[in-house]
């Protein structure tokens, strides 16, 4: 620590330099990862576990997620907790669009990640069909420890800058793909017009 010579004796003159240098990017990424607030997008059972993670025993506040903001304008991370139905998918997209950059998405639970145990007409098979997802947390529902691990993984990715780099190269945006369900079943299921 060549920076400090003898502060006790010489006061400020005991500092070799009274500037600490660093990159602004690092400072920004550090502060972003340590104070990201979540948007409430609790849908089903995973929402209960998400609330449990915010509860005193598991306490998300110590990781910087002090509050869950209802307004997407004030939130950074959208934790999609629960199964997304056909009716809910446009709402999900709308709330995601209303969030301000930089924003991240954690897909919590298997229903959000892939449709889960409900491989049927009513559930969107993975929210990555609607919004771009950064971290997937498996479990049905994921225990609070799993969710904390997912959030911390996201924080690490934010701090490394990995996500921003990837977004810049891939062009940033949801890969919405519409898949035609092939014949072989009695009645073709027509997905909703929206």
Partner 1 sequence: MTPRESDTIISAAAGTNEGNQELRSRSELTAKEVMREVGAVLRMSEADAALLAEVEADPGEDQTMIINMGPQHPSTHGVLRLMLELQGETVLRCKPIIGYLHTGMEKTGESLTFMQGGTNVTRMDYLSPLNSELVFSMATEKLLGIDGDIPERAVWIRMLMSELNRMSSHLLFMATNGMDIGAVSMMLYGWREREVVLRFFQKVTGLRMNHNFIRPGGVAADLPAGWRDDVMSILDMLPDRLGEYDVLMTNQPIWRERLQGVGVITQAEAIALGATGPILRSTGLAWDLRRDMPYMHYDKLEFDVIVGSYGDAFDRYAIRLNEIRESMRIVRQILDRVPNGDYRIQDKKVTPPPRARIDESMEALIHHFKIFTEGFKVPEGEVYVAIESPRGEVGCYIASDGSPTPYRMHVRAPSFVNVQALPHMMRGGLVADAVAVISSVDPVLGEVDR
Partner 2 sequence: MTTEETATPATLHGCLLGDSRGQAVLFVPKLSYMSTMKKLVDDGYEMCADLTAVDFLTHASRTLPIGVSPERFEIVVNLLSLSKRERLRARVQVSESDPSIESLFDLYPGTEAMEREVFDMFGISFAGHPDLTRILMPEDWQGHPLRKDYAQGRIPVQFKGAAS
Q: How far apart are CA 49 and CA 101, in angstroms?
A: 27
Contact between 36 and 7 under an 8 Å Cβ cutoff? The reply is no
For 81, phi then psi, to 5°, come to -110, 95
Q: How far apart are CA 36 and CA 114, in angstroms?
A: 25
Q: Which is nearer to partner 1, 70 or 181 (CB)?
A: 70
Based on the shown chain and the rule CB under 8 A, indicate whether residue 11 belongs to the binding site for partner 2.
Answer: no
Based on the shown chain and the rule CB under 8 A, indicate whether residue 121 belongs to the binding site for partner 2.
Answer: yes
Q: Which is nearer to partner 1, 75 or 157 (CB)?
A: 75
Q: How far apart are CA 82 and CA 132, in angstroms?
A: 16
- CA dihedral (88, 144, 50, 35) in degrees, to 10, reads -110
Of 3, 4, 28, 70, the one binding partner 1 by CB under 8 A = 70
Q: Which is nearer to partner 1, 86 or 156 (CB)?
A: 86
For residue 135, the cross-strand partners are 106
Report how many residues bind partner 2 under the rule CB under 8 A: 20
Q: Which stretch binds partner 1 (CB under 8 A): 7-15, 53-61, 166-174, 179-187?
A: 53-61
Based on the shown chain and the rule CB under 8 A, indicate whether residue 83 belongs to the binding site for partner 1.
Answer: yes
Q: Where along the sequence are the contacts to partner 1 (CB under 8 A)?
A: 40-45, 47-49, 51-52, 55-57, 68, 70, 82-83, 85-88, 91, 95, 117-118, 120-123, 140-141, 143
């Amino acid at each position: 620590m060549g920076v400090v010579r003898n502060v006790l004796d010489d006061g400020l003159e005991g500092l070799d330099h009274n500037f600490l240098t660093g990159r602004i990017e690092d400072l920004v990424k550090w502060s972003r990862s340590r104070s990201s607030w979540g948007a409430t997008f609790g849908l089903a059972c995973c929402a209960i576990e998400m609330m449990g993670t915010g509860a005193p025993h598991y306490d998300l506040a110590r990781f910087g997620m002090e509050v869950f903001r209802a307004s997407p304008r004030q939130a950074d991370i959208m934790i999609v907790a629960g199964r997304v139905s056909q009716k809910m998918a446009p709402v999900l997209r709308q709330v995601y669009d209303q969030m301000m950059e930089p924003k991240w998405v954690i897909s919590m639970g298997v229903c959000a990640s892939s449709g889960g145990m409900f491989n049927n007409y009513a559930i969107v098979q993975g929210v990555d069909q609607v919004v771009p997802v950064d971290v997937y947390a498996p479990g049905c529902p994921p225990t609070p420890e799993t969710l904390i691990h997912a959030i911390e993984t996201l924080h690490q990715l934010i701090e490394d800058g990995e996500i921003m780099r990837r977004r810049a190269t891939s062009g940033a945006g949801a890969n919405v793909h519409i898949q035609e369900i092939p014949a072989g079943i009695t009645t073709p299921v027509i997905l909703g017009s929206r």
